Amino acid sequence: MIARLVLNGRPREVEVRPNQTLLELLRDTLGIFDVKEGCDEGVCGVCTVLLDGRPVSSCLVLAAGLRGRAVVTLRGLERNGGLHPLQEAFVRHGAVQCGFCTPGMLLTTLAFLEREPRPDREAIRAALEGNLCRCTGYTKIVDAVEAYVRGELGHD
């Protein structure tokens, strides 16, 4: 079968198996390793991508059903070769330890802030509930998101 998608702005057509997930398409077929695999059952949030702007667990999406929808992975955030200000905030505020949850965490955060640009800490925590982190205890992740929301790093 052919899966059609717009991947980080570029239209792609890829041969897939009927049972192949978007996660498998990205990692195994296309070698896009900025998407990680954590649980393969939609619980941990590690494999989050943006599908038409909404965060989804790519392990739960069948590739063959994409029908031209837009998929954004972490590398889709790059701005003129530099870091996105949210990425910069994560680095500056120590929100990254092992880094395995980081791609999914960044994408979920951005999608959330599109909907709710001025959240408080509690709202940030609620929004990130579906993205597990085992290293940081979340405090510095929330710090980083708050700093970005305040525009500390050049974000308007």
Strand arrangement, sheet containing 54-57 = 10-15, 2-7, 69-72, 48-51, 54-57
Q: Which 128-147 positions form the footprint of another protein (CB under 8 A)?
A: 128-142
Q: Which 40-59 positions form the footprint of another protein (CB under 8 A)?
A: 40-41, 43-44, 46
**Are 58 and 76 a contacting pair, CB within 8 Å?**
no
Between 68 and 78, name the residue whose CB sits nearer to another protein.
78
Residue 127, number of CB atoms within 10 A of its CB: 19
Q: Which 105-124 positions form the footprint of another protein (CB under 8 A)?
A: 106, 121, 124
In DSSP terms, 72 is beta-bridged to 50
> Does residue 39 belong to the site contacting another protein (CB under 8 A)?
yes
Q: How far is the CB of 139 from another protein (least distance, A)?
A: 5
Q: How far is the CB of 46 from another protein (least distance, A)?
A: 5
d(CA 133, CA 46): 9
Round the CA-based radius of gyration of the chain to a whole number and report it: 15
> Does residue 21 belong to the site contacting another protein (CB under 8 A)?
no
Residue 108, number of CB atoms within 10 A of its CB: 22
Q: Catalog residues that contact another protein under the rule CB under 8 A.
A: 28, 31, 33-34, 36-41, 43-44, 46, 74-75, 78, 83, 87-88, 90-92, 94, 96-103, 106, 121, 124-126, 128-142
